[in-house]
């Protein structure tokens, strides 16, 4: 059987102190979910884990001009609502994402950019879940769609952890070639597609 290796989803926060969600898919199982309060701890986890792919919820660069990159504009044309990477609060996030991707590159670890709000739309949901019970139900439904086994406790999953799950799923779909790519000259955003579509 073809091994996918470890796929780490990261819902990156804009500053230390705020939770950065993570979710790990190993083979075809969701095996770990949680959050870190510092970029340092996330990087230590990555260095120990050495995942095959890291799927990141954050713009990985700033636009050449204006507020949006070309791939962000593509998302907007499809009815999605990414935040402008050039706005001040987002700039802090992008700077952290650049630090993260530079280290991933130095470790020889592949990475992609994804967008959980867009991912949930691509999977047939009108919006992201608003409660713990909805997050639990969505996670179980989505895992079943992709044939993923759940070995973590989704009963108290936070919104950051759920977004990290969607990031990991985008990475899984990417390696399975079940994705759609919004490709511009400035950036590429990967979203999962429903199986068999």
User: Which CATH number is 106's domain given?
Assistant: 3.30.420.10
- Across residues 56-84, what is the average pLDDT? 96
Among the listed residues 167, 116, 159, 170, the one whose alpha carbon sits nearest the alpha carbon of residue 136:
159
Output the pLDDT for position 104. Answer: 97
Q: Is residue 197 part of a domain?
A: no
Domain, as residue range, for 135: 6-192
Output the pLDDT for position 127. Answer: 93
> pTM to 2 decimals?
0.95
Q: Strands of 188-192's sheet, edge to edge?
A: 149-150, 29-36, 20-26, 6-11, 53-57, 110-114, 188-192, 179-183
Evaluate if residue 29 carries a pLDDT over 90: yes
Q: Is residue 19 part of a domain?
A: yes
Q: Is residue 116 part of a domain?
A: yes
Evaluate if residue 3 carries a pLDDT over 60: no
Evaluate if residue 149 carries a pLDDT over 60: yes
Output the pLDDT for position 197. Answer: 67
DSSP letter (8 states) at residue 31: E
Per-residue confidence at 4, pLDDT binned at 50, 70, 90? low
Q: Kindly report the CA angle at 76 between 104 and 196, in degrees rounded to 5?
A: 70
Per-residue confidence at 2, pLDDT binned at 50, 70, 90? very low
- Across residues 131-153, what is the average pLDDT? 96
Q: Is residue 52 part of a domain?
A: yes
Output the pLDDT for position 111. Answer: 98
Q: Kindly report the CA angle at 36 between 33 and 37, in degrees rounded to 5?
A: 150
Looking at the structure of the chain, the number of domains it has is 1
């Amino acid at each position: 059987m073809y091994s996918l290796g470890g796929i780490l989803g990261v819902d990156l926060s804009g500053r230390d102190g705020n939770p950065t969600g993570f979710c790990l898919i190993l083979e075809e199982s969701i095996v770990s979910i949680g959050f870190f309060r510092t970029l340092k701890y996330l990087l230590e986890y990555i260095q120990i884990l050495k995942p095959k792919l890291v799927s990141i919820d954050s713009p990985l660069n700033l636009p050449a001009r204006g507020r949006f990159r070309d791939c962000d504009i593509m998302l907007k044309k499809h009815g999605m609502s990414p935040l402008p990477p050039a706005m001040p609060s987002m700039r802090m996030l992008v700077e952290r994402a650049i630090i993260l991707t530079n280290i991933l590159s130095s470790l020889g670890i592949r990475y992609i950019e994804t967008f959980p709000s867009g991912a949930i739309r691509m999977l047939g949901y009108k919006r992201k879940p608003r409660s713990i019970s909805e997050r639990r139900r969505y996670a179980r439904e989505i895992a079943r769609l992709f044939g993923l086994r759940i070995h973590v406790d989704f009963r108290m999953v936070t919104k950051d952890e759920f977004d990290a799950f969607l990031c990991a799923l985008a990475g899984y779909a990417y390696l399975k070639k079940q994705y759609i790519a919004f490709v511009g000259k400035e950036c590429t955003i990967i979203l999962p597609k429903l199986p068999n579509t």
